[in-house]
Chain A
Amino acid sequence: MTAIVFELERAGKSPVVIFENPTAHGMPVVTNVAGNRKLLSACLGVEPANLPTAFRERCQTYIPCEVVKDASWHEVTIEGEALDLTKLPIPLQFTVDGGPYITAGQISARDPVTGVDTNRFSSTDAQGRNRLGLSLHSRRRMYEFQRRAEEQGKSLPAAITIGTHPLHYMGSMVYAYPSQRAKLELSEGLDDLELSRMRRVGIDHRAHVVQRMRSDRDRRRERLSLLLGAALEFIHAPARVEREPQTIPALSISR
């Protein structure tokens, strides 16, 4: 799948690519969702030449998110022994990778001090049936939330969503915003008419697949933990990186 996208790029094309049946499990894969300037412009309802200006202006419009009790991803919930991430078509991107990666997962969490939500892209390393990992090495807001939770002796609840609209991607990538604003409020500001209908359950996004997880504080080691979420824990210590896998409790999927 990665090779096909690379070849398309070499040919000067960047379409959205749907792999209808990449594995025997029957779940399609959609990729290159945010790789096309014309399509991103269309999401904002502007011409491609006006995309930078529209994006800059709208992401400074903050609209509170609607919080609802239920969402489509609760249609299917897989837990416990039944949870098997290997049944998801998570691709091995490059031969040098340690394993399959979810490259466009959006991780969301809430500041344990202020209650403000954030979300961001994070490549997520799939390790076996129920383990995922990610690194918070950019040390921005998510990193700080995890640090604050750890300081309180708590885990930091988080969710990874796959299958969100590209407007959510665009909102999550905004760098300059007031600290009291949630990233989802920025996403809604990108298109205030349509995204005002955005639904959220707790820290979850609207998405087709949601992986819920809880990060665990490692009490045994005195060092800086960069882990958030399930998976693999990247722990940064002077001149070395260690990994510890974390278990995710549930996989929720909308039909």
Chain B
Amino acid sequence: MPITANFDKQSLRGFLQMVETDYPEELLRVDSLWTRDST
């Protein structure tokens, strides 16, 4: 199991840093959304 102690456990940003570093397969980034209003 990866060591997660170096990440800030007080904030969502710290959680996201942990995921991005230790579990990159569990993070999906969506650059832009297409909606019906997009056209």
Contact = CB atoms under 8 A, between A and B. Distances in A.
Interface of B: 1-2, 4-5, 9-16, 18-19, 22-23, 25-33
Contact of A15 (B4, B13, B26): B26
28 contacts: A4-B30, A14-B26, A15-B27, A16-B16, A16-B27, A17-B28, A17-B30, A36-B26, A38-B23, A39-B15, A42-B2, A42-B22, A43-B4, A43-B9, A43-B15, A45-B1, A45-B4, A46-B1, A164-B11, A165-B12, A165-B14, A197-B10, A199-B10, A206-B10, A206-B11, A207-B11, A208-B12, A208-B13
A18 interface: yes
Contacts, number: 86
Contacts of A167: 9
A249 interface: no
Nearest to A197: B10
Contacts of A197: 9-10
Given A15-B25, A15-B26, A165-B12, 14 more contacts: A1-B33, A8-B28, A15-B27, A16-B28, A19-B33, A20-B31, A21-B31, A42-B4, A42-B22, A43-B4, A43-B15, A165-B9, A191-B9, A194-B5
Nearest to B18: A42
B9 to A, nearest CB: 4
Interface of A: 1, 4, 8, 14-22, 30, 33, 36, 38-39, 42-43, 45-47, 163-167, 191, 193-195, 197-199, 206-208
Nearest to B10: A206
Nearest to A20: B31
A42 B32 contact: no
Contact of A166 (B15, B27, B29, B30): B15
B10 A163 contact: no
A30 B12 contact: yes
A163 B12 contact: yes
B9 A195 contact: yes
Contacts of B4: 42-43, 45
Q: Which 9 A-B pairs have the closest CB atoms?
A: A194-B9, A163-B12, A15-B28, A15-B26, A19-B30, A17-B28, A18-B29, A206-B10, A165-B15
